[in-house]
Structure 1
Amino acid sequence: MAETPLKPVLQKPPGYRDPNFPAANSGFRPPPRKPVLPPSFHPRKRRSRFCRVCCCSLCIFLSVLILLVLIGAMIFYFWFDPKLPRFHVQSIRMTRFNVTKKPDGTYLDAATTMRLEVKNPNLKMTYYYGDTAFDVSFGEGGDETATGTTAVPGFTMGKQSTTSLKVETKASNMLVADDVGNRLRNGHRSKRLPVNVEARTKVGLGLAGLKIGKVAVTVKCDGITMRHLDGGDMPKCVINMLKW
């Protein structure tokens, strides 16, 4: 019996790719590997822990410090019971007041003597005052006319004591506007001329024999008239601490 002839093997055409096998260069790439850093590049955990410990310690220290300051302030307040000094205007006397109209303008001549009463109401504190500068002016509402400046030497006020200060100022042949001169003359005649006093000084404290540094103080006594004083009033002045 004759053998069946074998089929010839077909030759694969050039460029043929078997679909059952992926191509060697099909574009697939394995994920990149992370570079291995040397030990010197690794983050140091000890330093971050040290920073956290330092921050926590600093916060705790500041909190304790603030708490101690508050406790000390409360003890100081309840033990010494500090009170600000009190300033009152006792009297104002104008020894000279002339408003003269001349061909070249209106001129003011004024001499003022004032008495200010200063009280220290504290039982355990002493006040030390430096040299005090006083400015005196007439008028109000931002239309004041300065009439002189003087200074009073420094002084000391003991516990629960009262001091009277004499303030003298004068303005000689000072040129003013015509309407200002008329307003000053009319106010002086009716005893309604507002007188303003501003004192600038420095005040220190004495506690149990110790002196505490001085701070800047401004005292203002505004809008005082002769009618107020003739009625027996002693206008109170306003004290501004740390403000000039």
Structure 2
Amino acid sequence: MAEQPLKPPLQKPPGYRDPAAPGKPVVRPPQRKPVLPASFQPRKKRRNWCRTCCCFLVVFFILLSLAVAIAGGIFYLWFEPKLPVFHLQSLRIPRFNVTVKPDGTYLDAGTVVRIEVKNPNGKLELYYGGTHVDVTAWGDTELGTKDVGGFTQGKGNTTSLKVETTVKNQLVDDGIGRRLKNGYKSKELVVNIEGKTHVGYIVQGVKIGTAEVGVFCGGVSLKKLDSGDMPKCSLDLLQWYHPH
């Protein structure tokens, strides 16, 4: 009997996997770190330190301002500080010549001014820095300037300052020269005295802060001054500063 031919082996289909074969290890993708929102991200310590420092400085300056305000209030209530009072005590013009020359009109004049300075403080001394004084007639004609040295004034004290000024061969307008000459003869001439000084307080020998003060005296005629009137000078507080 003839043998039958062998059947060809069956072909495995594509993608076939033998269940009995050992499995290959599965490679898993690396885990990614979760991305947190910006508000959840940890902040740097440097930023926290800067914020703490700024908060500390703000609190410090607030407390310092409160302390200064309280100290100033206590100082004001206890000492009741007042600015000095100035009066134009007297004004003399011993020399006043208006000369007309071929090349113009010239003024020679000399003034003697006394200013009364009163310290109205019963608990505080006052000190004054150097004072610059300017004397003018009718506000625009120069009669001379003078620098007065500083001084200290006791509690409730009254001081008289003497200021002498001169001008020589000062050229003036012809019309102004005639007006000055006539005003001097009739005593209708109006003289102004302006000064600038520094005034401060003294507590137990210690200087407390100083104010730059402008002083204006005058604006009255010679006739009125000769009657014995002592007009009060006005004060302008120009600027506060601390003494060196």
How much does 1:186 deviate? 2.1
Aligned pairs (5 A) from 1:63-82? 63-82=62-81
Distance 1:102 1:57 in 2: 76
In structure 1, the partner of 2:19 is: none
- 2:64 aligned counterpart, secondary structure: helix
Q: Among residues 191, 210, 226, which one is paired with 1:195 in the alignment? A: 191
Aligned to 1:104: 103
Residue identity opposite 1:186 in structure 2: N
Q: CA deviation at 1:125?
A: 0.9
Query: Aligned to 1:71, what secondary structure does the other structure show?
Result: helix
Whether 1:124 and 2:123 are equivalent positions in the alignment is yes
Cα RMSD after superposing both structures: 2.8
Once the 2 structures are TM-superposed, how far is the Cα of residue 188 of structure 1 from its aligned partner? Answer: 1.5
Give me the whole-angstrom Cα distance separating, in 2, the residues matched to 1:139 and 1:36.
88
The equivalences for 1:50-89 within 5 A come to 53-89=52-88
Letter in 2 for 1:151: D
Task: List alignment gaps of at least 5 residues for structure 1.
Answer: 1-33
Deviations 1:83-129 (A, max 9, x none): 00111101111101111111111111111111100000001111122
Partner of 1:149: 145
Give the equivalent residue in structure 1 for 2:92: 93
Q: Could you tell me how far 1:239 is from its partner in structure 2?
A: 2.2
Q: Residue deviations 1:59-104, cap 9 Å, x none? A: 4333322222211111010001000011110111110111111111
CA distance in 1, matches of 2:113, 2:192: 11
Whole-Å separation in 2 of the counterparts to 1:228 and 1:37: 92
**Residue 235 of structure 1: which of 213, 225, 231 is its match?**
231
Q: CA deviation at 1:35?
A: 9.3
1:223 deviates by 1.2
1:207 lines up with 2:207 in the alignment? no
Q: CA offsets per residue over residues 126-152 of structure 1, 9 Å max, x none? A: 112233221111113xxx111111222
Query: In 2, Cα distance between the equivalents of 1:153 and 1:224?
Result: 26
What secondary structure does 2:196 align onto?
A: strand
Aligned-pair identity in percent equals 52
- Letter of the 1:81 counterpart: E
SS at match of 1:241: strand
CA contact (8 A) 2:107 2:177 kept: yes
Structure 2: distance between partners of 1:51 and 1:133: 50
Check the 8 A contact 2:125/2:203 in 1, yes or no: yes
Stretches of 4+ aligned residues off by more than 6 angstroms: none
What TM-score comes out, normalization by structure 2 length?
0.74
| TM-score, length basis structure 1 | 0.74
Aligned amino acid, residue 98 of structure 1:
N
> What is the match of residue 218 of structure 1?
214
